[in-house]
Amino acid sequence: MPAATPARPLGFGLGLRPAHYTQILDGKPAVDWFEVITENYLVGGGRPLHFLDAIRARYPIVMHGVSLSIGSTAPLDLHYLDGVRALAARCQPAWISDHLCWTGTGAHNLHDLLPLPYTEEALAHVAPRIEKVQERLGQQLVLENVSSYISYASSAMTEWEFLSELVRRTGCDLLLDVNNVYVSSRNHGFDARAFIDGVPTRAVRQFHLAGHLDLGTHVIDTHDAPVCEAVWDLYAYAVERLGPVSTLLERDDQIPPLTELITELDRARAISHAALQQVAK
Amino acid sequence: MKLTDLQLLAQSHLLEGGDMPPALQDAIAAPASERWTIYVEAYRLRLTAALCTQYPTLTARCGRAVFGELAWRFIRAHPSTYRSIRDYGRELADLAHGDGATPELRLHGELARFEWLLAAAFDAPNVTACTVTALAELAPDAWPTLRFAAVPSLQRLRTTTNAVAVWRALRRALEEDPACGPLAEPVATDIAPVDWLIVRPQLETEFRSLPANEAAALDLALAGVPFAALCETLTATYGDAAALQAATWLKGWLTEGLLLRV
């Protein structure tokens, strides 16, 4: 698939969660865009699609999937992809993203984002699947780096080298989850800034920010807490390195009032603004 | 190890638990076992949380610890094959009911089935139901062969316990304290079976009990029995008033948005 025209940054967005539907429609909060979990809207009708349509009429939307399982050795689920394509036709997302991972094989779904070994074999397996997905969806796929707690003995390259090679082979773009970079860097002992330095600058379409649980010996990606200072620092570095990329704050558990998330999002705006000014000097 | 074999091995361990197979231990760089446990735990916790969300009043009835044991038995027996975790857990009612040897088990089964059907109605496809106005414009000779089907959100249930009353009480308790439980509402089984109708005409899901005669007639209509045949069936009970009774019920069903014309 030919490379698409680079998308204009959307600004600063939030993950759309049902607890905030009414407030968003009533209050028109200062959020530039919303990201929806694709699978939550692959339904026939009712409230999910009603609110998606109403919010889409007011804000740009990005579709973010959790079960594409692009790294699985099971065949691609074309029925699922057709559902994603139909939903995209309905809500016209700015782009469609999912994760570089596998979520199950055979007919199973483990509902978790399991890492791949970073090998030539995995590259040769995943790259054609990305191309097939892009053809089926009729657009570029944006792939996110996952948090991981294990690595494989067979890995022959770094995660960022693997991602970069996928970009080169398929023309896909990247969703750089800054929190995931931090979590994995702590768990595997690599330099988080080297990860950011190592991804192809023009391919980074979006940032994710989220909270995690720090257990000292290792870190677990929980999305149930505010972004920590170390991740804010890494975000500033990412903006300096990669520019004004669309930024999304995620919260999936212990979801606070919308105003609290908007305050946190404002901090992302401020850090991004300061980082860009720093670069301009 | 090939990628296919690695994924099959890792998945098998996540689904079945137990000790980590040596081959998987070799495939994962150290420190393997402690970090791999995060995935093992997350699998159980994530699916259990999904079932709690799907079955909030059953969770409150049982208490989180007992429900957690039930959920884990279910997860072991029914690995997810769904893309969306929202679709996981349909068969839990059967497990919760078990052999139905006690009133409490029968209540659990019916609570679970009721909650699943409410969820099924919640996001069922939107359709434009047939209306009274549309039928008023129908030519008289079209009525005998008039046939219907259920709108996608329509669900039917028969209870033999006071499951719906217990559901209402538990919902009220959960609104006051989402972490409540286990909650003991008296279970009643000395009641006649009750038929229930669940439907989502617009955005809000509604339900009501159905008198036995109306339930039987509705089920015939939903099975596509032509209107004339429906009236004939009702003659045994209602005699000359059968057509009037059928028309009265039909008007009500259309007003409730239950039917599609086929």
d(CA B233, CA B245): 11
What is the pLDDT, as a whole number, of residue A1? 55
Element (H, E) at A169: helix A159-170
Q: Specify if A120 maps to a domain.
A: yes
Among A107, A111, A125, whose Cβ lies nearest the Cβ of B85? Answer: A111
Kindly report the nearest CA distance between residue A242 and chain B, in angstroms.
31
Which residues of chain A have a CB within 8 Å of the CB of B26? 153
Residue with structure tokens 């089907």?
A: B149
Q: Per-residue pLDDT for A6 more than 60? A: no
Which residues of chain B have a CB within 8 Å of the CB of A19? none
Q: Specify if A208 maps to a domain.
A: yes
Q: Are A235 and A274 contacting, i.e. CB atoms less than 8 angstroms apart? A: no
Which residues of chain A have a CB within 8 Å of the CB of B46? 111-112
d(CA B247, CA B222): 15
Q: Are B18 and B4 contacting, i.e. CB atoms less than 8 angstroms apart? A: no
What is the pLDDT, as a whole number, of residue A175? 98
Q: Specify if A3 maps to a domain.
A: no
Q: Specify if A7 maps to a domain.
A: no
Percent helix, percent strand, percent coil in chain A, to nearest 5? 45, 15, 40
Number of structural domains chain A divides into: 1
What is the pLDDT, as a whole number, of residue A170? 98
Q: Specify if A2 maps to a domain.
A: no
Give bridge partners of residue A102 from the DSSP assignment.
A114
CB contact under 8 A, B7 and A109: no
CB contact under 8 A, B80 and A108: yes
What is the pLDDT, as a whole number, of residue B22? 87
Element (H, E) at A47: helix A47-56
d(CA A82, CA B151): 24
Kindly report the nearest CA distance between residue A218 and chain B, in angstroms.
9
Among A46, A67, A106, whose Cβ lies nearest the Cβ of B123? Answer: A46
The total number of residues shown for chain B amounts to: 262
User: In which domain, by residue range, is A209 found?
Assistant: 12-280
**Interacting residues of A71 by C-beta distance below 8 A, sequence separation 6+:** A100, A101, A102, A114, A116, A122, A125, A126
A31-81 pLDDT, tens per residue? 999 999 999 999 999 999 999 999 999 999 999 999 999 999 999 999 999
Kindly report the nearest CA distance between residue A77 and chain B, in angstroms.
9
Kindly report the nearest CA distance between residue B199 and chain A, in angstroms.
11
| Interface ipTM | 0.93
Element (H, E) at B221: helix B212-222
User: Lowest-confidence range among A158-172, A225-239, B170-184?
Assistant: B170-184
Kindly report the nearest CA distance between residue A76 and chain B, in angstroms.
12
CB contact under 8 A, B8 and A125: no
d(CA B131, CA B251): 9
CB contact under 8 A, A122 and B3: yes
DSSP letter string, A186-229: HHHT--HHHHHHHS-GGGEEEEEE--EEE-SS-EEE---SPPPH
Q: Per-residue pLDDT for A4 more than 60? A: no
DSSP class of residue B185 equals P
Output the tens digit of pLDDT for each of chain B's 262 residues.
999 999 999 999 999 888 888 888 888 887 767 789 999 999 999 999 999 999 999 999 999 999 999 999 999 999 999 999 999 999 999 999 999 889 999 999 999 999 999 999 999 999 999 999 999 999 999 999 999 999 999 999 999 999 999 999 999 999 988 877 677 778 887 788 999 999 999 999 999 999 999 999 999 999 999 999 999 999 999 999 999 999 999 999 999 999 999 9
Which residues of chain A have a CB within 8 Å of the CB of B200? 46
Q: Per-residue pLDDT for A2 more than 50? A: no
Alpha carbon separation from B193 to A227, B105, B163, B189, B210 (Å, rounded): 53, 16, 11, 9, 11
Chain B residue with the nearest C-alpha to that of A123: B3
Residue range A15-34: mean pLDDT, rounded: 96
Positive or negative: CA dihedral B166, B167, B170, B175: negative
Q: Name the token pair of B66.
A: 């007992």
Q: Residue A226 belongs to a domain with what CATH number?
A: 3.20.20.150
Q: Specify if A165 maps to a domain.
A: yes
CB contact under 8 A, B3 and A121: yes
CB proximity under 8 Å: A 80-139 to B: 80, 83, 102, 104-112, 114, 116-117, 119, 121-122, 125
d(CA B118, CA B153): 9
